[in-house]
Structures are given as C-alpha cells and as structure tokens.
Amino acid sequence: MELVDASTAEGYLRRTGRLGPADQVQVERLAGGVSNEVLRVTRGDGTATSSFVLKQARPQLRVPQPWFCTVERIWRETATLAACQPLVQPGQVPRILFEDRENYLFAMTAAPRDHRTWKHDLLAGVVDLEIARQCSRLLGAIHAGSWRDARIAREFADRQLFDELRLDPYYRTVARQVPEAAQAFAQLIDSIAANCCALVHADFSPKNILLFSGGLLLVDYETGHYGDPAFDLGFFFSHLFLKAYYHAPRSASMLAAVQAGWDAYRREVEPRIPARDWGALSARWTRHLGGCLWARLEGKSQVEYLTATPQRKSARALARSLLFQPTDGPGAIQQLEASLADGWNA
C-alpha cells in the first residue's frame, strides 16, 4: 500500500494518469478526521478550477488511546455512498469519481471551498432551525428509504466495522470503566442484532455535515451497515444534547434545534414505515442516546469541547438516566430541559 499525503498526492495522480502533464494542481490536507488521510485536490489554470477529495484509509486512528481498524473499511464507505445516492436529495451525498483498490483510496466530489461544518456553527452559537430540520430529514430519508430492503440487508449485513469503530470504543469501553453499567451496555449491544431494519450511517454528526450556500453535504460513510436506526438517532442527538450543555446557561436555541430535529425526523419517517415499527423505534432509541452521551464523556472518542465539570456531571447524570430508564423522544427532550435548568444553570 502506497501512502498518499499532501506531499505525494500530486505525483501519485500524475503517475496513475489522473492528472495530465500540463495540469496545474494544489493539494491540501483537510482537518477533522481521525481515521483517514483526506486531501482536497484543486485543479485549474488560474481562470477555471475544479476540486475533488482523495480519501485513503489508515490502520491506526488518531486518538489518545490505541485504536486500530482494518483499511478494508474504505470499501464499506464507497458501497454506502452508492447505496445512499438514490435515497436522498441530489447533491446531499458525494459522488465517487474513481477507486484504487490496491492502495485503499478513492476520490469523490468535493463541497464548495467556502463550506463550513455544522459543528462549527453550533459551537459558535449559530443555531439555524431549518438546518436542524434538513439534517434530520436527511437521516430520516436514509432510514425510511432503506427500511427492510432485502438487497441492502444482504449487502450490508456485516457489522464488524461498526463493532470495531463504534460498539467497542463507545459502549464496551464505558462498560469496562463503569462495572455497574456493564449489563445495561451489553443489553444495548444485543438489542442491535434483534432490531436490524434499515441502512445505518453510524457517524451522522454535525462534524460530518458540510454547509454551504444552497445546500449541505453528508460525508464519512465507513461505518455504514444494515442495522438498528435507533443507534443513528442516539448518536446524532447526543451531539446536539452535548452542545446544549456546552452553551449553558444560554441553551434555549439548542433546545429548539433538538425539538425541531426530532419533529422533522418523525414527519419524514413515521408515514413511510409500518406503525408498529415506528412505535418500536420511538420507544428504544433514547437508550442509545444515553449510551452515546456516556461514551462521548468516558469512551475512547471523548468530546473535546465540553470541559466544565458541572456540565459534564449533569450530562453524565442524564446519560445514566436514559440508559437505565429509557423514555421516548419527547421525554428525553424534557429531561434535557430539566437538567439544563437544574442547579448550576438556575
């Protein structure tokens, strides 16, 4: 495997015939990922330019604790990208331009250069309720569009990468550190196999949603699998809940975003799946919300911005409550509101 980075990408592209001898090119490393080398390649002559993204898997993830995963995951990402294309609005998922199987690398279309991540906006206190709705509808479209799809179930049945990149570093890591929660986390993990019913992104977070004038783009698909969409909901909303704690005591806008997001997801999914399935999903996803909240505080991939002790303590208490005493979506939002109003936020 030839490692490609910002200093070698131009040579690689010329040698493999993906750049012509006269093509002018600029390569820059994109920040934010922990598991891959991600490069933006801009090609142009000074009057017109075009860009694409090169992505290559790395065996060791860039986190403080040792964390390794097979580079074969890059092909799960391309497969998930292809599966999502027909499920969502045009332009919300990157298009694959080429694959290099020998070097575990592929290229895809890029967001406009002036894009920003939704995480950037949220941490800055810029909360647009329509973006919350759009993102939730996007997640709902992936779930509803793949609901009990036999072809997708066969193609994405292998959940090993999801286990290595999510269940072990998130749920099992906390379970090892907090023995009193071990059984609850084990039951949560077991529930996934019993409730496989849709394509799950498993990395649907504000850092992977790129915003720009006229649209948004969802990136990072390597944990995609056919599984329980309740995990996606718990994972996604855990990010919004944590940012509500981050902004406390000025959390009203984040609370509104949580509510708008849940309402938009419900409107997207509930009419498109059997009523019994919707009732079951609504009843179980908040346990994953509790598990993901707890994992972002004490797992291998800990949230970097929530450093204040009172907020972390309150978030952990809410995580524990949701894991041990699950509720539904409205109930979880009510608990968040009460937690933010309690004690240090009085």
Give the list of residues 6+ apart from residue 200 with CB closer than 8 angstroms, or none.
143, 162, 223, 224, 225, 226, 227, 228, 229, 231, 232
Q: Is the pLDDT of residue 63 over 90?
A: no
| Residues 315-341 pLDDT 10s | 999 999 999 998 999 999 999 999 998
Q: Which of 39, 33, 32, 42 is nearest to 6 (CA)?
A: 39
Cα distance between residue 76 and residue 252, in whole Å: 38
Task: With a cut of 60, say whether residue 33 has pLDDT above it.
Answer: no
Residues 116, 203 contacting (CB under 8 angstroms): no
CB 156 within 8 A of CB 80: yes
Question: Would the pLDDT of 287 be above 60?
Answer: yes
**What is the mean predicted confidence (pLDDT) over 63-78?**
72
Over residues 284-293, the mean pLDDT reads 97
Q: Which residue has the higher pLDDT, 70 or 208?
A: 208
- Flag whether pLDDT at 113 surpasses 90: no
Long-range contacts of 273-276 (CB under 8 A, 24+ apart): 273/144, 273/147
From 188, 224, 187, select the one nearest 73 (Cα to Cα): 224
User: What mean pLDDT is predicted for residues 84-104?
Assistant: 95
> What is the total residue count of the chain?
346
Within the chain, residue ranges assigned H as helices are: 9-15, 73-84, 118-123, 129-145, 150-155, 160-162, 173-177, 182-194, 229-247, 252-269, 275-298, 309-324, 329-340
Return mean pLDDT, the chain: 92
What percent of the chain shows pLDDT beyond 70?
93
Domains of the chain, start order: 9-109 (3.30.200.20), 116-345 (3.90.1200.10)
pLDDT band at 212 (very low <50, low <70, confident <90, very high): very high
**Predicted local confidence at residue 345, as pLDDT:** 45
Closest CA to 93 of 104, 71, 109, 105: 109
Residue 47 scores a pLDDT above 70: no
Mean of the pLDDT values across residues 136-153? 98
- Mean pLDDT for the stretch of residues 41-46: 76
Q: How far apart are CA 302 and CA 290, in angstroms?
A: 14
* Chain-centroid distance, C-alpha 122: 15
Across 8-12, 30-34, 277-281, least confident range: 30-34
Q: What is the pLDDT of residue 30?
A: 87
| The pLDDT value given to residue 68 | 53
What are phi and psi for residue 26, nearest 5 degrees?
Answer: -130, 135
The first and second tokens of residue 221, run together, are: 């698909």
AA letter at 159: R
Residues 238-243: what's their mean pLDDT?
97
Q: What is the pLDDT of residues 146-205, one digit of tens each?
A: 999 999 999 999 999 999 889 999 999 999 999 999 999 999 999 999 999 999 999 999
* Contacts of 28 by beta carbon, 8 Å cutoff, 6+ apart: 6, 39, 40, 42
- Sequence-distant (6+) residues with CB within 8 A of 337 are 255
Residue 34's pLDDT is what?
56
User: Residue 140 pairs with which residues in a beta bridge?
Assistant: none
| Calpha distance 9→15 (Å, rounded) | 10
- Quote the distance between the C-alpha of residue 211 and its chain's center: 15
What pLDDT score does 23 carry? 85
Bond preceding residue 94 cis, omega within 30 of 0: no
The per-type count for the chain, helices as H runs and strands as E runs, is 13, 10
Share of the chain above pLDDT 90, in %: 81
Please compute the mean of the pLDDT values over residues 201-221 and round it to a whole number.
95
8 Å CB contact between 148 and 198: yes
What is the token pair recorded at 17?
């015939």
**pLDDT value at 67 more than 80:** no
- Is residue 45 scored above 70 in pLDDT? no
pLDDT of 289 strictly over 80: yes
